[in-house]
Amino acid sequence: MSELISKWNELADIKDELAARDWFMGTSGNLSIKAGNNPLQFLVTASGKDKRKRTSEDFLLVDGDGLPVGKTHLKPSAETLLHCAVYGKTQAGCSLHVHTVANNVISELYGDKGVVKFQGQELIKAFDMWEEDALLSIPIIYNYADIPKLADTFAEHISADKGAVLIRNHGITVWGRNGFEAKKLLEACEFLFQYKITLLQTKPFL
């Protein structure tokens, strides 16, 4: 139980940090952290909560299928299946999903290409890409309203214990080996998205 409380507090601290950045507009976004492997269980944000507030009902424990463990009146986030896909295919320990203006704009600008690429930017090192000519590619998938279909499409792009996928005009999901790494990747992605938007806006004046 003490381990579960520790994981709860770790995820709550991450939520507080992201809320301070105003990344949870309109109760959007969902977060999770792995609580155990045998059986697979993880804490995930409860549906419809104001994530700018810290309460005892922010998260609930679910199993590998995204179903609540034990009796609860709380409902898991509608997109819990995406977190199931991450934990089912990798050894990741944390998965974060936020909707921001920057990641939505980038997903629309590059949505037809199905990918947005970054090269020569310092922050791609967050993905452990240290080569001078390293190229970071973040896939962009269609925003299916059918969550199981969305999760299946999302799962096609999960191939490592850390990564990122954009959902077009929806948001970004990142995952990492622990909470610190997942948050680091999310911050790096949001910086890169804002950088690219600003560069595109500035280019006509250069």
CATH of residue 178: 3.40.225.10
Looking at residue 102, its amino acid is: A
Annotate 48-108 with three-state secondary structure. Answer: CCCCCCCCCCCEEEEECCCCECCCCCCCECCCHHHHHHHHHHCCCCEEEEECCHHHHHHHH
User: How many domains is the chain built from?
Assistant: 1
**Structural domain of residue 47, as residue ranges?**
2-205
Q: What is the pTM of this model?
A: 0.94
Q: What is the pLDDT of residues 80-119, one digit of tens each?
A: 999 999 999 999 999 999 999 999 999 999 999 999 999 9
Q: What is the pLDDT of residues 139-187, one digit of tens each?
A: 999 999 999 999 999 999 999 999 999 999 999 999 999 999 999 999 9
Taking alpha carbons only, the member of 137, 144, 188 closest to residue 160 is: 137
- Give the C-alpha separation, 147 to 129, whole Å: 32
